């Protein structure tokens, strides 16, 4: 199966630049959460308000700490590397520290950075590069079982939910593979396909490649991308949904968000029952048996009592398991999925 593979040498320094909020630092937060043993520090420009909680480092500090790879831990709109980040990246590469990025801006296309890396003996790794030979999707049914995380918006917990479900399935000795579809997931898993970097006509084909025929008792846990309800990123989501042919979907939502993030107009997020109905109608185009296995909610801005009340009411209204993948775990969703698949 052709996929994008990456091999990043730890320990890592997470580079945050001047990112303005945690939602756009999801790559850094994700790697720090799921690979904490490999992360030793963070680097920010002055005034950056985002703090992952790792030791603050200069280039000298990073060298002294034995950092091998600096990972750009930011996912800004459009995936471009701003000019103000470049001097620090050049300094890191010149000091012999590898640079890895999942941006649409390619590190290999930045001449000054390439020159600094060559002089310092550093490696530049562009993660957001799809493999060659991706076909157009066919919609042909495939063996094996699949679950896809589907968000009400971007940066609502699709990756965290998929990783947590994969971990829970493995804990139960159920055969499962995490299928990464974005830069952070690929850095965590070491392989995948960056779906949003695939030419539009081939997105569903890429999803078919990523989750091929498998044994009947094997689960592919597929990381979702974008959102059907986001005017900017709905296309990648629909292609991934059709190509994945999921037996089950898990809807992911941020409890604090009522409107779509980073769009020009004012677009409210639909009610979750409407979200589920819309998603299943579209999913059943290529997998008529698809069902919703539950709702995974980021409740990190709530206290324990508020979270439990919110999830309890949501579960009562939807008659589906409703969890926070970090605070409460995904076991109820996995139970429901295994029961009805």
Listed by start position, the domains of the chain span 4-126, 145-340
Instruction: Say if CB 35 and CB 64 are below 8 A apart.
Output: no
Question: Which of 14, 163, 170, 18 is CA-nearest to residue 100?
Answer: 14
E strands, the chain, are 4-5, 12-17, 39-44, 69-72, 98-101, 124-126, 145-151, 176-179, 191-192, 219-222, 248-254, 291-298, 322-323
Pairwise CA distance, residues 32 & 73, whole Å: 10
Q: Phi and psi (nearest 5°) for 60?
A: -60, -45
CB-side neighbour CA atoms (13 Å) of 222: 31
Residues lower than pLDDT 50 in the chain: none
pLDDT at position 312, please?
A: 97
Question: Which of 303, 142, 158, 317 is CA-nearest to residue 213?
Answer: 142
pLDDT at position 265, please?
A: 83
**In the chain, what is the straight-line distance between the N-terminal and C-terminal CA atoms, in Å?**
25
Bridge partners, residue 291, by sequence:
248
pTM for the full model?
Answer: 0.93
The DSSP code sequence of 33-45 is HH-GGGEEEEEE-
Report the topology of domain 145-340.
Answer: Rossmann fold (3.40.50)
Crossing angle of helices 272-283 and 304-318, in 10° steps, is: 50
Class of domain 4-126 as given by CATH: alpha beta
Q: Which residue, chain included where needed, has tokens 């994945």? A: 244
> CA dist 122 to 24, 66, 100, 108, Å?
26, 14, 10, 12
> CA dist 149 to 39, 61, 193, 207, 322, Å?
26, 39, 16, 13, 14
Same fold, 4-126 and 145-340: yes
> How would you list the strands of the sheet with 219-222, edge to edge?
176-179, 219-222, 145-151, 248-254, 291-298, 322-323
pLDDT digits (tens, 9 = 90+) for 153-171: 999 999 999 999 999 999 9
Pairwise CA distance, residues 241 & 281, whole Å: 11
pLDDT digits (tens, 9 = 90+) for 174-226: 999 999 999 999 999 999 999 999 999 999 999 999 999 999 999 999 999 99
Q: Phi and psi (nearest 5°) for 125?
A: -120, 115
Instruction: Say if CB 79 and CB 101 are below 8 A apart.
Output: no
């Amino acid at each position: 199966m052709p996929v994008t593979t990456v091999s990043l040498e730890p320990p890592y320094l997470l580079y945050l630049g001047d990112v303005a909020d945690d939602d756009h630092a999801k790559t850094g937060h994700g790697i720090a959460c799921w690979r904490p043993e490999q992360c030793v520090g963070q680097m920010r420009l002055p005034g950056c308000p985002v703090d992952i909680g790792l030791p603050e480092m200069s280039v000298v500090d990073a060298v002294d700490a034995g950092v091998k790879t600096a990972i750009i831990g930011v996912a800004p709109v459009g995936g471009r590397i701003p000019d103000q980040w470049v001097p620090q990246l050049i300094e890191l590469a010149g000091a012999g520290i590898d640079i890895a990025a999942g941006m649409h801006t390619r590190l290999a296309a930045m001449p000054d950075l390439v020159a600094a890396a060559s002089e310092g003996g550093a490696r530049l790794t562009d993660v957001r590069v799809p493999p060659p030979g991706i076909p157009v999707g066919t919609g042909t049914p495939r063996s094996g079982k699949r679950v896809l995380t589907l968000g009400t918006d971007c940066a609502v917990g699709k990756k965290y939910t998929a990783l947590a479900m994969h971990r829970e399935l493995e804990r139960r000795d159920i055969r499962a593979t995490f299928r990464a579809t974005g830069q952070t997931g690929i850095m965590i898993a070491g392989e995948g396909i960056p779906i949003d970097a695939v030419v539009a006509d081939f997105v569903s084909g890429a999803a078919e490649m990523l989750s091929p025929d498998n044994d009947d008792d094997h689960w592919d846990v597929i990381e979702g991308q974008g959102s059907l309800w986001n005017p900017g990123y709905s296309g990648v989501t629909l292609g991934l949904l059709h190509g994945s042919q999921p037996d089950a979907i898990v809807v992911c939502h941020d409890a604090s968000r009522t409107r779509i993030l980073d769009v020009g107009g004012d677009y409210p997020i639909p009610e979750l029952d409407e979200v589920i109905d819309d998603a299943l109608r579209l999913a059943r185009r290529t997998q008529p048996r698809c069902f919703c296995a539950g709702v995974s909610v980021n409740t990190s801005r709530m206290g324990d009592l508020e979270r439990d009340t919110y999830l309890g009411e949501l579960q009562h209204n939807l008659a589906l398991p409703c969890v926070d993948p970090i605070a409460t775990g995904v076991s109820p969703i996995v139970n429901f999925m295994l029961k009805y698949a």
